Amino acid sequence: MSAVIPENMEEIMIKQAMLAKNGKDVSTDELIKQAVLDAFQAFIDQELEGHYDQVSWDSKQLVVHDINHDEIARIDPQTDSFITDFEDNAQLVLFKLEDQARKLIGSR
């Protein structure tokens, strides 16, 4: 995964501080949501060996669309939100997202 994607709460706080230093006020929740989306997109791209599918948010779910813009999967958080999941155990969230990407791409 790219070093630019925060993988834990410490890295979220560092990124938030860096953005604030540059005059950008971004909430912790926004940074977590972006980190989760970016991580899942990176795992999907890795499995496909390129950027063919697109990951986006639909409320609290991650949605994957294929190259034809057809929805192929919806990923739910373990609890009420990916934000809570990430705050509780970011490493577990990333492991589960990587596993979901592997299963999703492997099933096609």
Segment 37-61 shows an average pLDDT of 97
What are the residues whose beta carbons fall under 8 Å from the beta carbon of 16, sequence distance 6 or more?
A: 26, 28, 31
pLDDT in tens, 56-95: 999 999 999 999 999 999 999 999 999 999 999 999 999 9
Q: Residue 57, SS3?
A: strand
Tokens linked to 75: 């990923």
Note the helical H segments in the chain.
9-21, 28-48, 82-106
Q: What is the pTM of this model?
A: 0.93
Sign of the alpha-carbon dihedral angle for 97, 98, 103, 108: positive
Is the confidence at residue 1, as pLDDT, over 90? no
Domain edges within the chain: 9-106
Q: Which long-range contacts (CB under 8 A, 24 or more apart) does 13-20 make?
A: none
Instruction: Please report, rounded to a whole number, the percentage of residues in the chain having pLDDT higher than 90.
Output: 94
Given this model, what pLDDT does residue 98 score?
98
